[in-house]
Each structure stands twice: as C-alpha cells, then as structure tokens.
Amino acid sequence: MSRPTMRRLVSAVAASALLASGGLALGAGAASAAPSLFDFGSTAGGPAQLDLGSSSNGQELPASATVTTDNLAVTKAVVGSNKIATTGQVTYRTTIAATGGPDRLVNKIADIFPFALSYVSGSATVTSWQDGQMKTEGVVPAEANGRLAVSKDVGWVVSATGNKTVTFEVTYRVRTDISFDIDVFDSGTAIEVSGQATQEWPDMGVKIGLLGPSGS
C-alpha cells in the first residue's frame, strides 16, 4: 500500500474517532460528559491520535498534563522518556487527587491510548488508600475502543485529608502488526465519580513520539 493511500486511511480513522467521541478533540482544560463511555458494546470514543503530519522532529512533546473537575485534579504522565523506539514500550500513569473537600469516591478510570499501542497483559496496577495506608495492587482492566478501564463498585476514596489519591498505571508496547504514517500520538483519560457525570478528556496533550519506521 502506498504512503498516500495509508495517509488517507489514517485520516479516515482520525475523523471517525472524532465523530464517535461527539465532535472535535477537547483541549486540556475542557471535559465532556459521556454517560456511555464504559458501555463497551458501543463504538463511542475511538482511539486518541494526533498530528497527521509525518515527523516528530521539532514538535513539542509534553509528557504530562493536568485537568480539573470540581475539586479533583487529574494528572496523566508518561513514566520515563516519551520518545519511544518502535520496538519499545511506554507506561502511562494517571493520578486523581483532591484539591479540597469534600471527599470523593472514584468508581471508574479509563486510560485512552493511541491505536499504535497494545496493552502489555498483567501490567495494570491501581494504587489507592486501603486499610489505613496507600497500597498498590494488580488489576485486570476491560479494553475496548481505544480505552483501558478499571472499576470499583464501592469506589476508591480520594481526599485532601492525608493526601489520599488513586493512581492507575498501565504499560503498552508499540504495535508491529500495522504500519502508520504518523509518529506523534496524543492520549487522554476518563473518570467516573460517584454522584457526578462521567468526564473524559480524549486528547490531554500527553504525547509520545516514535523513533524510527513503523510496522514489522
């Protein structure tokens, strides 16, 4: 397949993702309500991606970003370098903290990741306040439509008192089963807090740049 043909296909995927998520990509300071975000039977919210150009050279590649909703601050960051070899891996860490009262219960967290990545099985962890201390435990996320989600019916407590946070960390590897004409990818996150509408930020500006040609 020629590069122009592949570029048109990637552009079509990007357009479909934007339409599926309800419009143009949101900036880091805005959120959209998406009540059906975790309905994995739907096609809502396609994979996050950015920059349908051809090179990461000279482009700004921020490795972290923070958004706020009510009294919660949601920070997503790349652990380590965000310049990744096309045979390498990348770890994203999303932390939800309270900026003040009241305490909150986070029921669901979704990592919105680029189509160029695939989940490394067994890598997902959640760190949260349990039994009087912060604990890290392995979790089994649900995956669909460019989202990797974890949930807890009783919720993870987030409180400014004692700095009780919840952190979702997950590792992906760069896919080698496909080729793509872009090498800079954005990512995002989504959360569901008890008593509030689901909030999502599909393009937070947390970017990775791939080094070298894509594909096998």
The predicted structure's pLDDT at residue 213 = 65
Phi, psi at 3, each rounded to 5°: -60, -40
Average pLDDT in the 74-95 region? 97
At position 138, the amino acid (one-letter code) is G
Question: In terms of DSSP H, where are the helices of the chain?
Answer: 3-20
23/30 Cα distance (integer angstroms): 13
At 214, the pLDDT band (50, 70, 90 cuts) reads low
The predicted structure's pLDDT at residue 22 = 35
Alpha carbon of 90 to those of 55, 81, 114, 187: distances in Å?
19, 8, 11, 12
The predicted structure's pLDDT at residue 212 = 76
- Read off the pLDDT of residues 114-138 as tens digits, 9 standing for 90 and up: 999 999 999 999 999 999 999 999 9
Fold designation for 3-211 = Immunoglobulin-like (2.60.40)
Mean pLDDT computed over every residue of the chain:
80
Average pLDDT in the 63-84 region? 97
At 57, the pLDDT band (50, 70, 90 cuts) reads low
Window from 120-124, 144-148, 212-216 with minimum mean pLDDT? 212-216
At position 155, the amino acid (one-letter code) is G
At position 33, the amino acid (one-letter code) is A
Alpha carbon of 9 to those of 1, 15, 18, 54, 167: distances in Å?
10, 10, 14, 14, 35
Average pLDDT in the 25-52 region? 39
Please report, for the chain, the start and end positions of each structural domain, with discontinuous segments joined by +. Answer: 3-211
N-terminal to C-terminal alpha carbon distance within the chain: 14
For residue 79, the cross-strand partners are 91
The predicted structure's pLDDT at residue 149 = 98
- Read off the pLDDT of residues 162-182 as tens digits, 9 standing for 90 and up: 999 999 999 999 999 998 889
Residue 51: is its pLDDT beyond 80?
A: no
109/213 Cα distance (integer angstroms): 32
142/150 Cα distance (integer angstroms): 6
At 58, the pLDDT band (50, 70, 90 cuts) reads low
**Among 203, 205, 200, which Cα is nearest to 31's?**
200
Residue 99: is its pLDDT beyond 70?
A: yes
37/189 Cα distance (integer angstroms): 11
Contact 146, 115 (CB under 8 A): yes
Residue 193: is its pLDDT beyond 50?
A: yes
